Amino acid sequence: MAYWSRLAGVVRLGRVSSTMLATFGTALTALIAVPAVGTVFDVLLGQDLRAPDYTRTGYASAIVSLAMSVASGVVGKVAADRGLGVFQEIVVRRTVDTAYWIGSAVVPVALSVPTLIVTLGGVFLISPSRDVGQLIRIIPLALAAVFIGALFGVCCSGIGVSLPDPYLAATIAGCVVPITAGIVVPVGLYPDWLRTVCVWFPLNGTIRALDSVISGHGGLGAVRTDMLIAVVWAVVGLLFTRVAVRRLRNGSRQTLL
């Protein structure tokens, strides 16, 4: 019961402290306007670069923006808890508090639902074929991206503990991941050395699975690999947190977590 009580408490705190829910205008902008505009921008960029399939570019952009919005939500929740002094109490008392990390992801995951509907629905409407079957096969990829985004948010939050700006890791990831995932230009067209590097970044496998779905093949193996890679990134973030706690305890770190 104590575990579920802690988890519920973290969720309540996340709902109250969420900047996305500060006002109706903020929610509308963060959950609908920004992802929609980002998807439109990527589609237009793909047209300028003569990408072979504008629908594929739109769906890839929607999936990546969905995952990164969840990751940013987790980072924002942890950053708010750090400001309140809650985060330090949790990580100092417990090595890995799964209730805290799961609870921190609940609100961002819930808020991703309208983003998923708007972005995928928008791409479907502008798609020349408007293939309902294709959309149904893409929805599981989007749900997997939500899970991957939550794990990647744990990673960025943990790394941010050791940085002067708690949002810095998420900001850098927001610039790098769209490239390593291959939104506009498929990763298959990258040089061999760059493809090898991109495989180790989250969402690369999910977008490769998207390419397989659009071409009429399965791609679940790539998604499973992508999830495992996201777990590894989450572990890296937790290790950064433990290093920061150790430095705080031995006196080499003077600032609070």
pLDDT 10s digits, 158-205: 999 888 888 999 999 999 999 999 998 889 889 999 999 999 999 999
Question: What percent of the chain clears pLDDT 70, i.e. is strictly above it?
Answer: 96
With 80 as the cut, is the pLDDT of residue 18 above it?
no
Quote the domain boundaries for residue 117: 43-249
With 90 as the cut, is the pLDDT of residue 150 above it?
yes
Q: Is residue 15 part of a domain?
A: no
Single out the residue of 76, 227, 81, 80 nearest to residue 149, CA to CA: 227
Single out the residue of 8, 14, 151, 171 nearest to residue 84, CA to CA: 14
Q: Is residue 3 part of a domain?
A: no
By the 8 A CB rule, do 147 and 67 touch? no
Q: Is residue 26 part of a domain?
A: no
- Check residue 207 and give its pLDDT: 95
Q: What is the pLDDT of the chain when averaged over all its residues?
A: 88
- Check residue 195 and give its pLDDT: 94
Q: How confident is the model at residue 254 (pLDDT cuts 50, 70, 90)?
A: low
Domain count, the chain: 1
How far CA 150 is from CA of 85, 87, 107, 163, 217, in Å, comes to 22, 17, 10, 20, 27
Neighbour-count burial of 242, counting CB atoms closer than 10 A to its CB (0-12 exposed, 13-18 middle, 19+ buried): middle
Between vectors from CA 232 to CA 229 and to CA 233, what angle results, nearest 5°?
A: 90
Q: Is residue 74 part of a domain?
A: yes
pLDDT, tens digit, 9 for 90 and up, residues 192-232 = 999 999 999 999 999 999 999 988 777 788 999 999 999 99
Q: Is residue 24 part of a domain?
A: no
